């Protein structure tokens, strides 16, 4: 598909989210305060931090007992062994380790620093809490889309965004870690270019591109504006999930 | 900075670009036909293919004499040795090689497959031509921004986009390979989060995020719609360049 033009709108007014909050109601309230009435095809982008907090993924580091392995790895990387313990629990493989850094494969499949665990903006007491990713962000996105469909009768897309670092390129960029109702990977393989030649390798990651755009308007201190609306896209009702983005290990040309 | 909302608009009507064309005039014509009058802060995103063609970077493979090294590497990877010769000439390091694939560091600094050389959409005779990246895409972007400023008296940003594959994540995404007049990397390091804790690692790649959004509306057969306008951002007049995105080798945590 060729995507028509679209607008990316920051949505202010989300409250500080607490465990157990009705995130759907909070999102709809914020949209309403911004006089944004949802229509079919709208894509709601929400920062991972907010979803994780609502789902109770904020861990008190004082409740974490590091294993021997976490203590050793904490010494090697000069990181808090309790944080290392959480990273190990959240991941399946350690890909790289350096002083201050652990690059791991999260058990959800994505690769990145520290299993997506965040220590900024999570607590006003400073540093004794850590926020894990949502347990199943695709399910979280699907649940939000369903709840909105039930309450308002509109078919919207949901993207749960996170900020990722990348190999070779400086600077973080927003990425999609949970999706519902959008075409995540748009498959042009087997199509033809404008000269009629077969397009061989053309799978477009639409979800990450939309997440990158949305993350820009959220600003970095995403708890201030953890919500953005993308408007102008056609309604897609895709069954694809952000988990589809994870490149199968055997196909990873960069390993 | 927190980016305000913005719109991403595909701009149809670019002609098939030929070597030596006045790309600035063609872009301004296309914008005018779409009744888009440029204002300060607008960001014009243009696909690399079009810039490369206008700059005469289309190479006839029959004019390429492969070196012994290119012939050997072509056999190992089952690739056309003339194309391999161009890849070697355009790059400084081979990072990975597999059947059908060479991941290299381009002499401009970016890492990716085949030194950004494109064989789709470049010729109607099928496969005997290869399109190299612009020789200095940041300079190309600066020249376009200057020419537009001279002709229209407006200060716009320019992003020359390319589609990149990435490690670990499926699907291509638009990236910035040439920039002028925009904040490429937005540095929040040393700032505070909403609880007053220092934000340690917060350098936001705005250029890639905007390129990703723009590339979505271009579609994949980018010669049809190689042009997009991003509107709503403040005028930035930054001196940063896309070359700033290349992560210094010694800082690359993923190597």
Supply the pLDDT for residue A118: 86
Q: What is the mean pLDDT of residues A117-127?
A: 64
Nearest CB to A199 within list B111, B174, B220: B220
Q: Cβ B195–A126 below 8 Å, yes or no?
A: yes
Residues A189-215: pLDDT tens digits?
665 554 444 445 579 999 999 999 999
Mutation for B interface: A14, A124, A157, A213, most B CBs within 10 A: A213
Give DSSP secondary structure letters for A215-231.
HHHH-SSTTTS-EEEEE
Residue A128 has pLDDT above 90, yes or no: no
Distance of CA A3 to the CA centre of its chain: 22
What does pLDDT average to over chain A?
89
Using alpha carbons, list the distances in angstroms from residue A193 to A203, B33, B120, B147, B222: 14, 24, 7, 31, 9
Q: Please give the domain boundaries of chain A with CATH numbers for all domains.
A: 7-55+134-245 (3.30.1330.100), 58-131 (3.90.1660.10)
| Residue A127 in this model has a pLDDT that exceeds 80 | no
Task: Name every chain B residue with its beta carbon within 8 A of the beta carbon of A205.
Answer: 169-173
Interface probe for B, chosen from A77, A124, A166 (most Cβ of B below 10 Å), is: A166
pLDDT score at B222: 45
| Total beta-carbon pairs less than 8 A apart between chain A and chain B | 245
Structure tokens belonging to residue B51: 């810039």
Write the pLDDT tens digit of every residue in B110-156.
Answer: 999 999 998 765 555 555 899 999 999 999 999 999 999 999 999 99
What ipTM goes with this model? Answer: 0.92
What pLDDT shows up at residue B234? 86
Q: What is the pLDDT of residue A123?
A: 53
- The pLDDT tens digits of the residues spanning A53-107 come to 999 999 999 999 999 999 999 999 999 999 999 999 999 999 889 888 899 999 9
Pick the residue with more confidence: B120 or A22?
A22
Band of residue B200 on the pLDDT scale cut at 50, 70, 90: low
**Does residue A25 register a pLDDT over 90?**
yes
Residues of chain A with Cβ-Cβ distance to B175 below 8 Å are 169
User: Hey, what long-range contacts does B62-70 have (CB within 8 A, 24 or more apart)?
Assistant: B62/B128
| Nearest-CA distance A99 → chain B (Å) | 10
CB contact under 8 A, B170 and A188: no
Per-residue pLDDT at B30: 95
pLDDT > 90 fraction of chain B, expressed in percent and rounded? 73
B191 Cα to chain A: minimum distance (Å): 10
CB within 8 Å of B209: residues ≥ 6 apart: A173, A174, A212, A213, A215, A216
Could you tell me if A128 and A122 are in contact, meaning their C-beta atoms sit under 8 angstroms apart?
no
Tell me if B209 and A215 make a contact (CB, 8 A cut-off).
yes
Q: What residues in A contact B120, CB-CB < 8 Å? A: 193, 197, 199-200
* CB-closest option in B200, B202, B220 to A188: B220
Do B161 and B182 form a contact (C-beta atoms < 8 A)?
no
Instruction: Tell me which of B197 and B211 has the higher pLDDT.
Output: B211
B109's tokens: 């600094």
Indicate the range of A193-202, B21-30, B161-170 predicted with least confidence: A193-202
**What is the per-residue pLDDT for B125?**
58
Nearest Cα residue in chain A from B96: A254
Choose, out of A204, A214, A229, the residue to mutate when testing the contact with B (most B CBs < 10 Å): A204
Q: Kindly determine whether residue B195 and residue A245, on different chains, have CB atoms separated by under 8 Å.
A: no
Task: Please give the Cα distance from B109 to B246 (Å, whole number).
Answer: 6
Q: What is the pLDDT of residues A151-190, one digit of tens each?
A: 999 999 999 999 998 888 999 999 999 999 999 999 876 6
Integer Cα distance of B212 and B199 in angstroms: 25
**What are the DSSP E strand ranges found in chain B?**
6-10, 43-47, 58-60, 91-98, 101-106, 111-113, 129-131, 157-164, 173-180, 185-187, 203-205, 227-231
Give residue A126's pLDDT.
55
B208 to chain A: which residues are within 8 Å by CB?
Answer: 169, 171, 173, 212
Percent of chain A at pLDDT > 90 equals: 73
Residue B193 above 80 pLDDT? Answer: no
Asked whether the predicted pLDDT for residue A132 surpasses 80, the reply is yes
Predicted pLDDT at B252: 65
Which residue, among A9, A42, A45, A120, would best test binding to B if mutated, counting the most B CBs under 10 Å from its CB?
A120
| CB contact (8 A) between residue B168 and residue A6 | no
Question: Does B194 sit within 8 Å of A169, measured CB to CB?
Answer: no
For residue A108, the chain B residues in CB contact (below 8 A) are none
CB within 8 Å: A210 and B213: yes
Contact criterion met (CB < 8 Å) for B113 and A253: yes
Closest Cβ–Cβ partner in B120, B171, B193 for A199: B120
- CA A177, CA B38: separation in Å to the nearest integer? 35
- Region A29-38 average pLDDT: 95
Burial of A190 (0-12, 13-18, 19+ CB in 10 A): exposed
Report which secondary-structure segment, H or E, holds B53. Answer: helix B48-54
pLDDT for B65 equals: 97
pLDDT at B233 over 50: yes
Average pLDDT of chain B, as a whole number = 89
**How much is the average pLDDT of A139-146?**
98
Dist CA A66 CA B66 (whole Å): 57
Question: Are A170 and B221 a contacting pair at CB < 8 A?
Answer: no
């Amino acid at each position: 598909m060729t995507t028509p033009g679209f607008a990316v709108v920051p949505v202010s007014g989300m409250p500080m989210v607490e465990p157990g909050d009705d995130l759907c109601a909070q999102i709809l309230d914020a949209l309403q305060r911004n006089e944004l009435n949802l229509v079919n095809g709208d894509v709601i982008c929400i920062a991972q931090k907010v979803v994780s907090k609502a789902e109770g993924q904020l861990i008190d580091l004082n409740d974490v007992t590091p294993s021997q392995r976490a203590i050793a790895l904490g010494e090697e990387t000069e990181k808090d062994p309790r944080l290392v313990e959480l990273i190990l629990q959240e991941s399946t493989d350690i890909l790289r380790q350096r002083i201050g850094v652990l690059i791991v494969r999260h058990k959800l499949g994505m690769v990145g620093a520290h299993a997506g665990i965040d220590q900024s903006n999570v607590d006003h007491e400073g540093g004794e809490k850590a926020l894990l990713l949502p347990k199943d962000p695709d399910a979280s996105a699907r649940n939000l889309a369903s709840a909105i469909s039930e309450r308002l009768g509109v078919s919207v897309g949901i993207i749960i965004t996170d900020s990722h670092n990348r190999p070779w390129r400086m600077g973080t960029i927003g990425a999609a870690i949970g999706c519902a109702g959008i075409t995540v990977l748009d498959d042009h393989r087997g199509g033809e270019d404008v000269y009629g030649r077969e397009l061989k390798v053309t799978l477009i990651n639409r979800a990450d591109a939309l997440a990158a755009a949305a993350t820009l308007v959220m600003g970095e201190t995403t708890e201030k504006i953890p919500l953005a609306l993308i408007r102008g896209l056609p309604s897609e009702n895709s069954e694809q999930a952000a988990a589809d983005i994870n490149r199968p290990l055997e196909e990873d040309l960069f390993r």
